[in-house]
Structure 1
């Protein structure tokens, strides 16, 4: 096994760019092996971890070091040879830091894939070169489109098992490109790889002279994500009001939270919703001291020049660029509860940014078949892993944007009031 990438020096990654990406694909397409290979080739695993994996591989009778065991951490996953939960892994190269969400391939764990991809900058869909595109490949590609993941990479894996046949790769690439044309996939890259042997992972392989594109790691290091962030619409959901109970600090009032989008600077005119009161930013504080500007995903404390009644769930924005203050929501919903279905008239708790309210399902417009993209307008409910378009009415207004414009202020979850379980994840289409 070659290790082609040098590990960055200690402390050098602090100010590096961060790429979040999720892996997806059908069962046995090699997602966990691919992540294990990336961790191995970037020297991110410790010697004792590698020894434990080598020992586990030997006990299973494998003739090779099974790098998939680096990510399949649950005992049930190792016993069954599948991924069940979303496993998060971290690594870095001299150019960029990475967070990987290894999502399950089984259809019954589709909800876990939605969870893993919801915050991703890039989705990586694996396909077995021997099998070609299967139902789950299309399902995951559609879900990444629905979740507005801006970059999509198709890795045609196990090319070594088809003797690196260029025609096999091109047939799969053409079929996937045709399917992706129906989706909202603005940036698509297709790479032939062998995760087991490391071909086209950390460096270009000499076994694919007909492939002129980059290796997977090179693409991950250089894909442009800065323009994906919304730096136009200022959205700052207030998470906590800071009022120190100190005798030495009597006049400090700050509003803490994470910048959802836009850029905040001292002196900017701002408006607070839902009250509609306006003020100016006096200062922006962080744990390391004041800063001249704040942008996503920074966590900061904003101080205003005026004393305004602001509490958790309120939002700071621009006076002439505000989200909708809406109680009627139309959204796409992925149902995640296996014990009960979504029904018209059902009542839930809705969690949207830092605001919590109660909501009722006013209507189910259609259920979506993620394989054919057919809309079933006769559907009466949504079962586990099903996706549909619903109309919601909330008890208090949400400060919402369309999901396609802002993934943070356009996303929400539904919670069962009786069990406190998260039963659905939603993406706002329209707020009025």
Structure 2
């Protein structure tokens, strides 16, 4: 694309106006069948009917015309492990065995900066090919893995969150740090990367069983010392894991209580999975403003359990919930595949996830869980211009099915059930087209 500071992106445009879980799907969005998003210096300046806006933007504005395709905010992945790209589709293990048999051996390779850079590049290319413009990423225990990731992301201008895993017990020696080294390394990485361009840092104790009390205390101290930094970890993913946590932390009332004890809950805390949370734990998550990352394909593939999305939203104090691919326990970086699994899990619990709710989770809902919903996740004036362009007829089967779609709701549902990466025609970061399906990376 050209270097103009102003750009108009035309097509079918979807904008969210409210949370569909709380205010109903009919009141949650606006849709223009011939709309336009006007971008200036990487920020959305106006959104609306093309015939109204294009007359005012001037003849010097570059127009990207996607007639018949759907334009929405870029997808938000709230929990993913880029070093696990090589263990996707590994056979026959549940959580603890998965870590020992597949994850830990793979992560040991990320001490090699060049290797980490290669995998980070692949991960980012695949994310963009699937329309993902923001990810909350786990690196490995090695600082080199963090540097490699942020360096790979920088040319794309992506708003990403990432951090060094903190892990000082119950893991192989080649993957452990100490409470002090985790604090020191993380502090250096925060100073190096947090707030540089659109990069953000996330403190990343892997999960309670792989951190001593001293390390969790150090993480809590560092989080208090670095306002604006994120905190990401796992909670209540697997029943065996719950029993293990109870043995390791007998003074805590429950799994969440471990993080509560060390001051690791609050705004910008993202907790992966949350399948087996008690009512007390859910109330604490809501009260502290923490968030849960729903990882449907991972929960199914590793056999962890079924997250109750409906219950999380039908409370008097709804939880902040984002959608997550959770590669490599998750089986795809496709948000469509992730939404399909979320729908199927909800169906098993007698809740039909509405497509407006689903795409809200993949965009503005994910941004809200990351406390970025004033910056990303929507197409509205003042938002950073992260966008995805969806070809609504990307395969012969989808083309045939779309001929019978009665409205936007049905068209969205067809995409979330049948589409894959072939449906992503283009991905934009801060107004710059950084992926085009027919040309690869720009």
Give the TM-score, by structure 2 length.
Answer: 0.34
Give the TM-score, by structure 1 length.
Answer: 0.35
Q: Relative contact order, CA 8 A, sep 6+: which one is greater?
A: 2
More strand by share: 1
More helix by share: 2
Q: Which is higher, the Rg of structure 1 or of structure 2?
A: 1
